[in-house]
Structure 1
C-alpha cells in the first residue's frame, strides 16, 4: 500500500536547448521526481528517527504531522535543508539505505537521468488540455508549468508538491514509466 504522506525525492537536471528563441531564458530550477514510500519504508524512517531521538511516536507506517515534524527537526539539527521530505542526504544522515526505502519494481530514475524537452512538452500539453496551463508548449519547465502542476495536484486532492510524481503523472493520463510517450 503506498502512502502519499512521505516520498523519497531525487533532484533531476533539466535539459535546455539554447536556440535563439530560448537564448534569453533563465535556467529552470532542477525538477524533482518523488516516489511515494510504502508502509514498510515509512516504518524504517520512523524507527531511524526514534533511534536518533527525534521521534517519540509509534513506528506504525503512517506518516502524520508528528512524523513530519520529527523529520524536519532532525534535518534542522543536522544542518540539512529542513523540508520534512526524505531525500538522499537525509537518508544517509539517518543511516538508512535509500535502496531499502523504494520497492525494487519501481525504483526512481537515476540522478543522472535528464527530463527531456519532449517529456516537459508532454506534461505541458496534457496540463493545457486539462485546463491548467496557458503558457507555450516549449519544453522548458518554468514557473507557469510549476504552478500548473500544483493547481492540478490540488484539484485532484493529491499531495501538492509541484513535483512530477508517478501518482501525478498517472492522474494526468501519462504513463509514469514512459513520460515521453503519448498520453493514455
Structure 2
C-alpha cells in the first residue's frame, strides 16, 4: 500500500475499517497479523488537525481539509517532537496532546447519498471538478467541461489515492475529499 494511500484514522471502537499490518516473520513463528481500526476523517476534522499541527509548528502547508503527504509528514514530525509513538496515524494519544477530542473529530456515519452522474453535471461543474483534480495533481488534460474517460480516470486515481472506493463516480464522499461542497459542486474548493 502506498504511503500516500494509507488511511488516516483514529483508534476507536465501533464499525470501522480494518487494515492488517503485515510484518515479515519467519513462517515457523508466524502469528496472525495484528489489526488496526481506522475511521476516515472528514474535511472539517482534517482542517482542525492541520490547524493544530500548524499552531504547533509542525505543518507549514495550506489548511485545506485534504490529508496528503505534507500533512502525514507533519503528523509524524509532531509525534516525534512530543515523545509520542511515531505511527503516522492520529491516535487517541496524539489527538489528546494536540488538544483535540477524538470523539469530536469523528462524526456519525453519513447516510447514503447518490453519486452525481455525468449526464446530470453541468459544464461549469465538470470544469470545477477538472480544475480541482488538476490542482491536486490527478488531471493533466485541458479543463474543458466535458466529462470523458480522462476525467473519469482522474477521479478513479484520486479515489484510490484517498482510500475511497475507486469507481470513477463523483460521489458526495469523493467531492468532500476533493475539498468541494457535495451540495454545490460548482462552488469554489474550500
TM-score by length of 1: 0.46
Ranked by relative contact order (alpha carbons within 8 Å, sequence separation 6 or more), the top structure is 1
TM-score by length of 2: 0.44
Report which of the two has the higher share of strand: 1
